[in-house]
């Protein structure tokens, strides 16, 4: 099981988080206190694995090159993966009165940020146990009397994959990961073949390409509920997208190496 430090590094690497907000930083069925998250981030910064940048009263997190290398070195060790599933579903049901409509909107937004799928407007589902987080949020928002939590072992007539596809946009998100690779592969070929119709230097073209690629990936990853692998289709393309990003970065590094592509002369 990945440590909190590693979970933070992984999430930054995959573009799942970038804003330091403990109430929106969660990893499957693992739950951490606000204080533990702040301490872990501080240690990672002290170790040179990430940097913090403040803008408009918000703190943004960025991996350093040392942090990225730590991710690459450990990917094969097994902690760069989704959480396992105990094959139980957690259901949250709420009945918040209309006079507290604002708190109800906050609750829905919070459930979305945790990756819950919407069954109905007041019924939400997840494969992970977020019970402590939901309880904390309920007390903070004074909604404890309005929120009910249940653990369900199965949905009659639906297997796990069918449940996931019913309440999350799994097929759409998977198609977006696949399209990301196809579209940006074509753009990368255009840069290599000097067919990108612009007067910009190639170094700027590569920088613009990587910025666009990472932005598009993060946009998709933000909508990905990060379900356990057992609930995903066999052709789930997120890792393919991540591998393509890494390949593009490495390709550009090789192109920037002095003399690397200079023909050998006798």
- Summarised one tens digit per residue, pLDDT across range 53-91 is 887 778 888 888 888 877 766 554 433 345 678 999 999
Q: What CATH code would you report for 4-77?
A: 1.10.10.10
Write the pLDDT tens digit of every residue in 237-261. 999 999 999 888 888 775 554 443 3
Per-residue pLDDT at 143: 94
Contact present, 225 and 169 (Cβ < 8 Å): no
Give the list of residues 6+ apart from residue 242 with CB closer than 8 angstroms, or none. Answer: 14, 217
Per-residue pLDDT at 207: 81
* Distance, CA of 2 to CA of 36 (rounded, Å): 15
Q: What is the pLDDT along the chain (266 residues), one digit of tens a residue?
A: 456 777 788 777 766 556 676 655 655 445 677 788 889 889 999 999 998 888 777 888 888 888 887 776 655 443 334 567 899 999 999 999 999 999 999 899 889 878 899 999 999 999 999 898 899 889 888 999 999 999 999 888 899 999 999 999 999 999 999 999 999 999 888 877 765 556 667 777 788 888 888 888 878 887 888 899 999 999 999 999 999 998 888 887 755 544 433 333 33
Four-residue CA torsion sign, 207, 212, 213, 215:
positive
Per-residue pLDDT at 98: 94
Q: Topology of 89-153 in CATH?
A: Alpha-Beta Plaits (3.30.70)
Q: Considering the entire predicted model, what is its pTM?
A: 0.65
* Nearest Cα to Cα of residue 238 among 224, 249, 228, 248: 224
């Amino acid at each position: 099981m990945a440590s909190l430090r590693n979970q933070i590094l992984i999430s930054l690497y995959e573009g799942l988080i970038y804003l330091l907000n403990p109430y929106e930083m969660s990893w499957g069925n693992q739950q951490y206190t606000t204080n533990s998250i702040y301490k872990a981030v501080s240690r990672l910064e002290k170790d040179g694995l990430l940097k913090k940048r403040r803008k408009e009263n918000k703190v943004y997190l960025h991996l350093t090159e040392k942090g990225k290398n730590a991710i690459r070195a450990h990917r094969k060790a097994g902690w760069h993966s989704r959480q396992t599933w105990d094959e139980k579903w957690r259901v949250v049901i709420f009945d918040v009165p209309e006079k507290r409509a604002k708190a109800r909107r906050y609750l829905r937004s919070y459930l979305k940020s945790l990756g819950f799928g919407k069954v109905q407007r007041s019924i939400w589902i997840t494969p992970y146990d977020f019970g402590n987080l939901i309880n904390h949020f309920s007390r903070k928002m004074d909604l404890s009397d309005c929120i009910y939590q249940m653990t369900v072992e199965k949905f009659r007539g639906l297997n796990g994959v069918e449940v996931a596809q019913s309440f999350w946009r799994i097929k759409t998100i998977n198609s977006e990961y696949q399209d990301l690779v196809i579209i940006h592969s074509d753009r990368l070929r255009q840069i290599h073949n000097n067919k990108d119709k612009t007067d910009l230097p190639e170094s700027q073209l590569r920088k613009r390409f990587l910025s666009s690629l990472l932005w598009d990936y993060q946009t998709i990853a933000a909508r990905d509920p990060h379900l356990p692998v057992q609930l995903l289709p066999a052709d789930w393309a997120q890792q393919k997208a991540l591998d393509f990003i890494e390949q593009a970065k490495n390709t550009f590094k090789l192109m920037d190496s002095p003399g690397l592509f200079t023909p050998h002369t006798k």
